[in-house]
């Protein structure tokens, strides 16, 4: 075999290996698992405050959020999320709430376990992200979340943190114009720690928004 043929074969083999590597990277993109620490047993304790429409404090107390179980969806693990702040299931269904790390960030998933039907799967925390990024989510993708800060400082019971701040706008899904806003929330998230603060604002009967609840991180435990 002459030298030119050998060089051609070597070039061909290297080119095929390069194409295979590129194909593998496309099929199996890297999942950013270090952003939000999703794992069975990981838990966060918060101090919760609830207000009435006049701004008066009507309740204060602690609550926990914990990942309690994992199952598979499309060959990837999803983690059941336990929090008493989850909205109640409709009378027809037994909704279970899950989180999952994906290449574009953290997804929130809802499943009706009695039927095996996945009701929702939408982006909840975009990551990596840039300031002024936005994306739709919520019921029928009617809600919109904006990234409004990448380094906001939060001081709470668990310490001092530099946070990404997401502003989620909840729209009235019965309003076909998508212009009626029911409320909005600020969610403060720290890479490697999770959610450290949450503030929710809701509209009253005359369309004025007031803070109806908030909570901040007291402590966290990672397994």
Token pair 């080119």 is found at 15
Residues 6+ apart with CB under 8 A from 58: 50, 51, 52
- Cis? peptide before 153, omega within 30° of 0: no
pLDDT band (50, 70, 90) for residue 21: very low
> Mean per-residue pLDDT for 197-215?
93
Question: Above pLDDT 90, what percent of the chain?
Answer: 63
Q: What is the CB neighbour count within 10 angstroms for residue 130?
A: 8
Q: What is the pTM of this model?
A: 0.81
Instruction: Indicate if the pLDDT at residue 166 is higher than 80.
Output: yes
Average pLDDT, the chain: 84
Among 34, 36, 49, 42, residue whose Cα is nearest residue 157: 49
β partners of residue 76:
73
Q: How much is the average pLDDT of 40-69?
A: 96
Average pLDDT over every residue of 122-137:
95
């Amino acid at each position: 075999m002459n030298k030119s043929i050998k060089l051609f074969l070597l070039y061909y083999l290297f080119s095929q290996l390069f194409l295979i590597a590129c194909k593998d990277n496309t099929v199996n993109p890297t999942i950013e698992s270090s952003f939000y620490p999703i794992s069975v047993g990981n838990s966060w304790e918060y101090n919760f405050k609830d207000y009435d429409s006049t701004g008066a404090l009507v309740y204060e107390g602690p609550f926990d959020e914990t990942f309690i179980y994992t199952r598979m969806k499309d060959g990837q693990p999803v983690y059941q999320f336990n929090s008493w702040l989850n909205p109640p299931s409709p009378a027809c269904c037994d909704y279970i709430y899950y989180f999952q790390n994906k290449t574009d960030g953290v997804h929130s998933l809802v499943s009706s376990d009695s039927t095996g039907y996945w009701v929702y799967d939408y982006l909840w925390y975009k990551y990596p992200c840039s300031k002024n990024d936005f994306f739709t989510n919520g019921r029928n993708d009617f809600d919109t979340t904006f990234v409004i800060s990448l380094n906001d400082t939060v001081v709470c019971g668990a310490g001092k943190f530099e946070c990404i701040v997401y502003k989620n706008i909840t729209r009235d899904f019965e309003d076909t114009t998508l212009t009626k806003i029911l409320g909005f929330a600020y969610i403060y998230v720290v890479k490697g720690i999770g959610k450290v603060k949450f503030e929710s604002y809701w509209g009253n009967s005359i369309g004025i928004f007031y803070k109806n609840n908030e909570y901040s991180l007291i402590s966290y435990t990672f397994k």
